[in-house]
Amino acid sequence: MIIAGGGVGGLALANVLQHHCEVILLERTEEFKRFGGPIQLASNALQIIQTMDRNVYDQIMEQFTFTGDKTNGIKDGIRDEWYAKFDLGTPAKKRNMPYTGVIDRPELQDIYIKSLAPGILQNGDGVQGYTKTPRGGVTVQCASGKVVEGDVLIGADGIWSNVRSAMRNEPSKGEGSGASYSGYTVFAGELAYPSSDNGEVGYKVYIGPSQYFVITDIGKGNYQWYAFLAKPPGSADTEEKPDGSSMHLQKVFAGWSPDIHHILQATQEHEIQQRDLYDRPPSVLKPWTDETVALLGDSIHAMMPNLGQGGCQAIEDAMVLAQELKSAKLRSEIPAKLDSYRTRRLVRSAAVQGLSRFASDIIIRGFDTPAKIVWDETNGIQFQNFNYAGIVTKLLQPILPIFFSVQFNFLYEGWRNEMAIDVEAGLAFLVIGGTILLLGAGSVGEAGVGLGLGLETLLGSEGLEAILASVRELTSL
């Protein structure tokens, strides 16, 4: 077994399969460096880690900061009032699952690396491509020119995957690669910060016209913030910031919550990074597998960070792949087992990927400062922000907690990936998500109307096609 890529999904898969077969994990970086910031592990991922390796889970818990047991939600970015709260705790508690939280990515990587037997992880030589052998195996070509042979190759090599490129005969990056620019750039900062609500609030999403700002507790007195802005690709290089990123963002968020300005003012320039956001809808039309080769994680379903499910879905991939491969008794069964993996993961990963993109589109393009009627003793009744977007944002306020409840129940209930399609969740997404999109259509404009309403917008056209294909398959039995 050859695994290309030592990210979370590749490490999790290597960890569980090392007890069942010979594993080689090829990672292109010379060594794992301590960078990357925190990673969210939601209840569905934690439940899988606990099931796959209790020792790894216990070590994670020693470094973990829970956010799912705290207050989380959306705030009015201008008025600094709670707009809608997420209940992350109840769906986990009802299922006796660990609460969602965060851990430093380097700590998580270190735990997994130390769990691997010597010789499994081989740094400094990434996979460039592969060819299939006559006997049904795979020959892997590395960047150094080294050749490695194995029975199975798993491409866990990220959004710009060389394994996927070879499988589909398409570029690994850029036009034709299948990845698309989301329309958003994100600034991120990480720092020690004395927040006034430390220990009470897990994360806050401040919403307003055409942008939003997230502040999240990452433990040990440290916080991370994100500023999501609708910008053309490459704005990090083309947009001038003569006073630095912090001052630039303070101007961009002028008039917003004091919380935003406090944390921006406390952030030093070296603590801020900016990157454009790309994602990749999982495809029902293009292959996930090529006989004894399969794709995992961002290489097949890279998603926006809004739900914090990128690493979690890679872990789900690893669990399902391990289950399928461990059940194979003969080499000849491997292609069918990998096809089964794809069937089990396609619709669920499409739903999560679509929800992640939907969250960005509706928050940035559909949300505004909510309309509000206030009484002023001097001026009497005041109608604040009574435009279309403001009214829609206000109308969505009682709907969103229901949608969040459906969303988290879907994420936490389906972690076993036993069904190709969750009909109940699909219908809930259609009804509630369609209502949200219908209300937001006038302000979302092309982003909402052009994609259509209902599941096609939530899941993407290929995700919807995957659901329809699954329904056809089920009804034909």
Average of per-residue pLDDT across 13-37: 88
466: confidence class by pLDDT, cuts 50, 70, 90? low
Residues 6+ apart with CB under 8 A from 165: 129, 171, 172, 177
The pLDDT tens digits of the residues spanning 375-396 come to 888 888 888 889 888 888 898 8
Domains assigned to the chain: 2-69+89-179+284-345 (3.50.50.60), 180-279 (3.30.9.30), 349-476 (no CATH)
Of 251, 237, 257, nearest to 185 (Cα)? 237
Average of per-residue pLDDT across 243-252: 97
Report the amino acid identity of residue 439: L
Average of per-residue pLDDT across 359-388: 83
Average of per-residue pLDDT across 342-351: 92
The residue that leads in pLDDT, 158 or 399, is 158
Q: Can you tell me whether residue 182 is helix, strand or coil?
A: strand
Token pair for 88 = 């992350």
**Euclidean distance between CA atoms 272 and 270, whole angstroms:** 6
Token pair for 403 = 């949608």
| pLDDT score of 218 more than 90 | yes
Of 226, 234, 240, nearest to 191 (Cα)? 226
Please state, in angstroms and as integers, the Cα–Cα distance from residue 446 to each residue in 229, 289, 403, 457, following that order.
17, 34, 23, 12
| pLDDT score of 354 more than 80 | yes
Q: Tokens 């690893």 — which residue? A: 318
Average of per-residue pLDDT across 143-155: 97
475: confidence class by pLDDT, cuts 50, 70, 90? very low
- pLDDT score recorded for residue 477: 44
The pLDDT tens digits of the residues spanning 398-430 come to 988 888 888 898 899 999 998 766 666 666 766
Compute the mean pLDDT over every residue in the chain, rounded to the nearest whole number. 89
Tell if the pTM clears 0.85, that is, is over it.
yes
